[in-house]
């Protein structure tokens, strides 16, 4: 077990923190207000190796570990959880091509994905299937050397700003065994987009429906064989859950740091806020919960790197615990600011809004409990 970071990991985390402080944090509130998708800034991050963190290096990836990725995403999220989260989604979609694509597919797409010249989005959720992902209805019918796609994907991060969509489609019968994975070019005729959703948070990345109406996609764009798409989707989500939890911790750490700085300056009843023991206890509890969640994320990431049999369960556990902790710490930080925490200029209310969705996406926290319980029951047989 690893309870400390080596010199390379510390340097990696500091590099990401410095980038976030210089390139992301000063603009985060404005990007949120203007719903600006900062593609150019993300490409700068990619030039530092953050566009293909755990992609193999023969196609331009950084070939780092899942633990390294967790450190990077937490650090970037201290600048803006929304931007960090999208970079994590791009990495997840790119990894699916790296892990399940053939060499031709890898060479075709990954060099430009690693530089974020191409932006990737992940398409699993549909209007009628979120938590019950295996019931998806988007269908791909084979027609010679192409599939003809019809259906709709919902809540797709980066849609409209992206260039490639890694799409789970039904090529066979009902259930998970009938699902395959296609890489779809964003310019494909028959692919259209819904309106940019009006959301509580995550405003610095677009969220749209992706609609397929007789869209023709080459069979050569399929990842792996027909019928393994659900396996691909779930494999991606193990890492995605670690990534999004790391983003929660980074946002929450930023909120805690802001609260601590505010309490050193703000006075009430003749004393600074940080001199009140009750508030000191609250700060301590916030820091303790964050550190516990961080340790959990590191353990789950290390298990994923080792391909540990318990990795899926640990990733689900860490996601449930860490995203709940992240939101609660940010919410407590807002409370410690009093009325000022409710004002946008302090940046706290944005973090609270951004972190709320982390308890829903990459599998809701109710589904995380279900995964953990099922793994426990299986292990007891």
Provide the CA 369 distance to its chain's centre, in angstroms.
Answer: 19
Q: Which string of b and e fits 165-180 if b means at least 16 CB within 10 Å?
A: bbbbbbbeeeebebbb
Q: Which two tokens stand for residue 87?
A: 């970079």
Q: Is the CB of residue 230 less than 8 Å from the CB of residue 134?
A: yes
Residue 200, CA distances (Å) to 34, 351, 352, 356 in order: 14, 11, 10, 9
Q: Is the CB of residue 283 less than 8 Å from the CB of residue 260?
A: yes
Pick left, alpha or beta for residue 89 (phi over 0 → left; psi -120 to 50 → alpha; otherwise beta). alpha
User: Whole-angstrom Cα distance, residue 210 to residue 223?
Assistant: 19
* DSSP assignments along 96-120, one per residue: HHHHHS-HHHHHHHHHHHHTTSS-E
SS3 content of the chain, % helix, strand, coil (to 5): 60, 15, 25
Q: Which two tokens stand for residue 286?
A: 């916030």
User: Whole-angstrom Cα distance, residue 211 to residue 17?
Assistant: 37
Whether 362 is catalytic: yes
Q: Is the CB of residue 318 less than 8 Å from the CB of residue 297?
A: yes
Q: Which of 74, 226, 349, 362 is catalytic?
A: 362
H/E stretch holding 236 reads helix 229-265
User: Whole-angstrom Cα distance, residue 67 to residue 311?
Assistant: 13
Q: Which residues carry out catalysis?
A: 362
């Amino acid at each position: 077990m690893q309870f400390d970071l080596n010199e390379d990991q510390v340097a990696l985390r500091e590099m990401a923190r410095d980038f976030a402080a210089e390139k992301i944090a000063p603009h985060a509130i404005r990007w949120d207000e203007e719903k600006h998708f900062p593609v150019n800034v993300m490409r700068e991050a990619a030039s530092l190796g953050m566009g293909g963190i755990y992609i193999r290096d023969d196609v331009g990836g950084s070939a780092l570990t899942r633990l390294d990725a967790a450190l990077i995403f937490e650090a970037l999220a201290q600048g803006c959880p929304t931007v960090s989260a999208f970079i994590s989604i791009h990495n997840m979609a790119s990894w699916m091509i790296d892990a399940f694509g053939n060499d031709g597919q890898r060479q075709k797409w990954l060099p430009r994905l690693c530089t974020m010249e191409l932006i990737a989005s992940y398409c699993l959720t549909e209007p009628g299937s979120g938590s019950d992902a295996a019931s998806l209805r988007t269908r791909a019918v084979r027609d010679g050397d192409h599939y003809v796609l019809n259906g709709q994907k919902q809540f797709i991060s980066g849609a409209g700003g992206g260039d490639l969509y890694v799409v789970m489609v039904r090529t066979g019968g009902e259930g998970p065994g009938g699902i395959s994975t296609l890489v779809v070019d964003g310019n494909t005729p028959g692919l259209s987009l819904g309106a940019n959703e009006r959301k509580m948070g995550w405003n610095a990345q677009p969220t749209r429906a992706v609609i397929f109406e007789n869209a023709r996609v080459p069979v050569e764009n399929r990842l792996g064989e027909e019928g393994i798409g659900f396996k691909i989707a779930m494999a991606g989500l193990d890492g995605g859950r670690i990534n999004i939890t790391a983003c929660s911790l980074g946002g929450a750490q930023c909120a805690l740091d802001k609260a601590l700085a505010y309490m050193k300056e703000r006075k009430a009843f003749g004393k600074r806020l940080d001199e009140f023991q009750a508030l000191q206890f609250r700060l301590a509890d916030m820091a303790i919960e964050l550190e516990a969640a961080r340790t959990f994320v590191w353990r789950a990431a290390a298990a994923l790197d080792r391909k540990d049999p318990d990795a899926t369960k640990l990733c689900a556990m860490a996601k449930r615990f860490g995203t709940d902790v992240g939101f609660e710490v940010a919410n407590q930080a807002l409370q410690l600011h009093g009325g000022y925490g409710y004002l946008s200029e302090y940046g706290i209310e944005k973090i609270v809004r951004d972190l709320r969705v982390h308890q829903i996406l990459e599998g809701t926290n109710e589904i995380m409990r279900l995964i953990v319980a099922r793994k426990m029951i299986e292990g007891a047989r």
